[in-house]
Amino acid sequence: MTQPATEAVSFSDLGLPASILAALADVGYESPSPIQAACIPALLEGGDLLGQAQTGTGKTGAFALPILARIDLARREPQALVLVPTRELAIQVAEAFQKYASHMPGFHVLPIYGGQSYTPQLSALKRGTHVIVATPGRVIDHLERGTLNVSTVSCVVLDEADEMLQMGFVDPIESILARLPESRQIALYSATMAPAVRRIADRHLRSPRVINIRAKTITATNIRQRYWMVEGTHKLDALTRILEVETFDAILVFTRTKQSTAELAEKLEARGFAAAALNGDIQQSERERTVQALKSGKIDIIVATDVAARGLDVPRVSHVINFDVPYDSESYIHRIGRTGRMGRSGEAILFISPRERHMLRIIERATRQPIEQMTLPSVHDVNRKRVEKWKVGLTAALASPPHAMYRSIIEEYVHETGADPLDVAAALAGLGQGGHSLLLPERSADATPPAREGGGSTFSPTYEGGGKGKPKRGAATKAMFADGPGDEQGGKGRRFERQQRYRLEVGREQGVQPGNIVGLLAHEADLSGAQINKIDIYEDHTLVSLPELPPELMTKLRKLRLKGKPLEIVAVEDTRRPGPGAGPAAARRRPRY
């Protein structure tokens, strides 16, 4: 059957436990996607499911959330198996499980894929894991070696089944399914119902619930669509450059979560833009005032979630910027439809990370329009635009008397000091900047950043931690945006300074990744990537090598929270062992990702 359009529901309506709802609230997810709303209750009932939906429709949450709702944490054995076609998708799905299980202490998910050493996979399997996300070929290898036991698996998911079958995984999938317990639950997701997919479904699924989510594929032809490949905290710098150079009337910036709308609006305001946030926590009266302010020109930028932007129709919106990639192509179409209204032309810009580039192809197929790669404005472009705006402001000031009082004072000053009138004007212009330079420093390294994976820049991941305000930049961004000497000139990025080992009281239990550690320390300790080394993430703590930190900075960092837990950073004596109580076995454990 084709699933009809569902009425607006919340995650709390779907029968999920409080721990999962708390994790969803932490990341600010407001409402389930259509496939999540349809599949979660069906899977919680325990029956088989056949879902037809395009990649990027929110399928991961559709099967991960009900699996987590039924996991027995006391059993350190595989209870769910998710089969995916590629290594990249295995890592992505495993990280999604970890994020959704952030309020489930002791939960473990293990990605298994080819091209990786067997050693860390074998070690993790021996320690015990609740969910395995794997490519079929590597699962068969482990089954033949006797290192993986699937007799305890109660739920198996075939994600992107058509892709797996096209890649030649028919026999491995058949072999894996044949070894599962008779009482297992199977959820099969596929973008198409090709004959091979249908044969697998007919042979292994028992009276499945059939759910078909069809995405809309119509988008206005008068909207120019562009993308920029960028990730992490550096998206803010890229957004700032675009806002400084693009000619726009009003802009809608879309993020995935409620928290990020407020944080991004605050950072844009700190950079001199008239911005406000719209999310599900904002009361209707305040929402109406914000929308009216956008219509009247009192503010120019609204940062919103998909839910908060429903029904928003402001003709002066010339640009839509997808700061975060939407969870499906239909959401993308809804977002960019907020511009190009009433026959006007519009601009849509998509920020996308290298790991999300598959969404670019999905969106292009859905919209049936190419999305062109944009060129990020250079420092020269930004400076030229700043000078133009400054001249416009000066012209407006000259046209708005009175100047007589100031003119007489300046004439008196020039007469008394013999100063050049142009020097006096330049000094006054500097005073008007409040001590800040009008122009960014132009350097040879300040060109368009080096390309990676389809033209993106070599940016590093963000972190989810404490602290507000303008983020510090990593090494790649410093080359683009720095206001002072670079690391190569003897700055803080020296690679050979003495390093000290530090212990942080956060680890795999909180879902911490190396990028979270790097991002937080770069932001809060003003360290470069070259200064952050040897990150070892253990079950309940992390070890990292850093330059010796002064006491006042240690006090500040100790109070910060990462993934909801205080860092409690301390220096440790032995750089080869974990902190107190970890034991020799823990010293050999390595990060799972």
- Do 359 and 387 sit in the same domain of this protein? no
Residue 566, beta-bridge partner list: 561
CA angle 514, 351, 246 (to 5 degrees): 135
What distance in Å separates the CA atoms of residue 464 and residue 151, rounded to the nearest whole number?
37
Asked whether 502 and 569 are in contact (CB, 8 A), the reply is yes
Question: Percentage of the chain with pLDDT > 70?
Answer: 80
The two structure tokens encoding residue 409: 């004072």
395-413 mean pLDDT: 76
At 7 the pLDDT is 55
Region of poorest pLDDT, from 395-399, 417-421, 489-493: 489-493
Query: Predicted confidence band at 97 (pLDDT cuts at 50, 70, 90)?
Result: very high
Half-sphere exposure of 592 (CA within 13 A, CB side): 28
Q: Looking at the predicted structure, is the pLDDT value of residue 88 above 80? A: no
Query: Predicted confidence band at 434 (pLDDT cuts at 50, 70, 90)?
Result: low
Structural domain boundaries, residue 409: 380-432
What distance in Å separates the CA atoms of residue 39 and residue 50, rounded to the nearest whole number?
9
Asked whether 478 and 397 are in contact (CB, 8 A), the reply is no
Asked whether 542 and 560 are in contact (CB, 8 A), the reply is no
DSSP annotation of 281: T
Return the CATH number at 491: 3.30.70.330
Is residue 454 one of the residues assigned to a domain? Answer: no
Residue with tokens 């013999």: 418
Is residue 153 one of the residues assigned to a domain? Answer: yes
37-57 mean pLDDT: 87
For the stretch 535-559, pLDDT in tens is 888 888 899 989 888 888 888 888 8
E-state strands within 367-487: 372-373
What distance in Å separates the CA atoms of residue 90 and residue 159, rounded to the nearest whole number?
10
- Do 342 and 231 sit in the same domain of this protein? yes
Domain count, the chain: 4
Query: Predicted confidence band at 159 (pLDDT cuts at 50, 70, 90)?
Result: very high
Asked whether 49 and 209 are in contact (CB, 8 A), the reply is yes
Task: Compare 133 and 512 and report the one with higher pLDDT.
Answer: 133
CA angle 337, 342, 346 (to 5 degrees): 50
- Do 265 and 158 sit in the same domain of this protein? no
The two structure tokens encoding residue 562: 């990462």
226-232 mean pLDDT: 84
What distance in Å separates the CA atoms of residue 191 and residue 212, rounded to the nearest whole number?
9
Output the furthest CA–CA distance in the chain (Å, rounded): 99
Region of poorest pLDDT, from 136-150, 433-447, 505-519: 433-447
At 489 the pLDDT is 31
E-state strands within 289-363: 301-304, 317-322, 346-352
At 431 the pLDDT is 74
Rounded to two decimals, the pTM is 0.48
- Whole-angstrom Cα Rg for the chain: 27
Residue 211, beta-bridge partner list: 51
Region of poorest pLDDT, from 29-33, 54-58, 128-132, 506-510: 54-58
- Do 19 and 162 sit in the same domain of this protein? yes
**Of the candidates 227, 236, 171, 182, the residue with the CA atom closest to the CA atom of residue 204:** 182
* C-alpha pair distances (Å), 80 with each of 88, 108, 110, 131, 153: 19, 11, 11, 5, 5
- Do 393 and 306 sit in the same domain of this protein? no
Task: Compare 48 and 308 and report the one with higher pLDDT.
Answer: 48
At 511 the pLDDT is 81
What distance in Å separates the CA atoms of residue 441 and residue 443, rounded to the nearest whole number?
6
Return the CATH number at 289: 3.40.50.300
Region of poorest pLDDT, from 71-85, 113-127, 337-351, 571-585: 571-585
Is residue 456 one of the residues assigned to a domain? Answer: no
Is residue 535 one of the residues assigned to a domain? Answer: yes
Query: Rounded to 5, what percent of the chain is helix, strand, coil?
Result: 40, 15, 45
295-308 mean pLDDT: 89
- Do 406 and 490 sit in the same domain of this protein? no
233-250 mean pLDDT: 85
Query: Predicted confidence band at 4 (pLDDT cuts at 50, 70, 90)?
Result: very low
Name the amino acid, one letter, at 283.
Q
At 173 the pLDDT is 94
What distance in Å separates the CA atoms of residue 227 and residue 453, rounded to the nearest whole number?
13
Is residue 260 one of the residues assigned to a domain? Answer: yes
Is residue 465 one of the residues assigned to a domain? Answer: no
Task: Compare 19 and 424 and report the one with higher pLDDT.
Answer: 19
71-94 mean pLDDT: 90
* C-alpha pair distances (Å), 444 with each of 202, 237, 240, 478: 62, 19, 21, 13
- Do 39 and 179 sit in the same domain of this protein? yes
- Do 288 and 384 sit in the same domain of this protein? no
- Do 341 and 416 sit in the same domain of this protein? no
Tell me the three state secondary structure of residue 254: strand
Residue with tokens 């006042």: 552
Name the amino acid, one letter, at 484.
G
At 584 the pLDDT is 35
- Do 61 and 178 sit in the same domain of this protein? yes
Query: Predicted confidence band at 440 (pLDDT cuts at 50, 70, 90)?
Result: low
Query: Predicted confidence band at 593 (pLDDT cuts at 50, 70, 90)?
Result: very low
DSSP annotation of 312: -
Listed ranges 81-85, 343-347, 436-440; the one with the highest mean pLDDT? 81-85
- Do 271 and 347 sit in the same domain of this protein? yes
16-30 mean pLDDT: 88
At 417 the pLDDT is 87
- Do 372 and 401 sit in the same domain of this protein? no
| CA distance from start to end of the chain | 39
Asked whether 107 and 71 are in contact (CB, 8 A), the reply is yes
Q: Looking at the predicted structure, is the pLDDT value of residue 448 above 50? A: no
What distance in Å separates the CA atoms of residue 184 and residue 555, rounded to the nearest whole number?
52
The two structure tokens encoding residue 65: 């959330």
Query: Predicted confidence band at 495 (pLDDT cuts at 50, 70, 90)?
Result: very low
At 454 the pLDDT is 36
Is residue 445 one of the residues assigned to a domain? Answer: no
For the stretch 460-491, pLDDT in tens is 333 333 333 333 333 333 333 333 333 333 33
Is residue 486 one of the residues assigned to a domain? Answer: yes
* Element spanning 278, H or E: strand 275-278
CB-based burial label for 179 (10 Å; 0-12, 13-18, 19+): middle
Region of poorest pLDDT, from 101-115, 208-222, 282-296, 399-413: 208-222
